[in-house]
Amino acid sequence: MDFARDWRPQEHLELSKNIRTLESVEGALSPHIKDLEYFNEWIRRQRPKRYSKKSLVVDEHLIYVPYHYDANGCGIYFRIGNLWRDFHIFINLAYSAFENSRILWVLADESDTQALKLRRLYKNPKSLVCSLFIEYIVFHYAHGIAHHVFEDVAFLLETMKKGKYSLVKSDEEEEYCRYVAFSTLEKYMPGVLARSKKAERLISIFYPMIPKFEWRRVESINFATTKLL
- pLDDT value of residue 191: 67
- pLDDT value of residue 192: 67
pTM across the whole model: 0.91
- How do the pLDDT tens digits run along the chain, 229 residues long? 888 888 988 899 889 889 999 899 888 888 888 888 999 989 989 999 999 999 999 999 999 999 999 999 999 999 999 999 999 999 999 999 999 999 999 999 999 999 999 999 999 999 999 999 989 998 999 999 999 999 999 999 999 998 888 889 999 999 999 999 999 888 877 666 666 777 777 877 888 888 778 888 888 999 999 999 9
| Three-state SS letters, the chain | CHHHHHCCCCCCHHHHCCCCCCHHHHHHHHHHCCCCHHHHHHHCCCCCCCCCCCCCEECCCEEEECCCCCCCCCEEEECHHHHHHHHHHHHHHHHHHHHCHHHHHHHCCCCHHHHHHHHHHHCCHHHHHHHHHHHHHHHHHHHHHHHHHHHHHHHHHHHCCCCCCCCCCHHHHHHHHHHHHHHHHHCCCHHHHHCCHHHHHHHHHHHHHCCCCCHHHCCCCHHHHHHHC
- pLDDT value of residue 35: 87
- pLDDT value of residue 62: 95
